[in-house]
Structure 1
Amino acid sequence: MSNTRTTPLTDDCPCGLGKPYGDCCGALHRGARSAATAEALMRSRYSAFAVRDAAYLLRSWHPDTRPESLDFDPEMRWTRLEILGTTGGTAFHNEGTVEFRAHFTERGRAGDQHENSRFARVNGEWVYVDALD
Structure 2
Amino acid sequence: MKKYHEIRKNRKLDYHSWWKSFTLGLLSLGASGSIGAEASTTVFTAGMINWRGGKIFPAIFASIAVGTAIAQFIPIQPAITVSLAVVASVTIILEKPLLTAILLIFLLPIPLAPLIFITAYIVMLIHKFLLKKIDLKSLIY
Relative to the length of structure 1, the TM-score reads: 0.29
Decide which structure has greater strand share: 1
The structure whose Rg is larger is 2
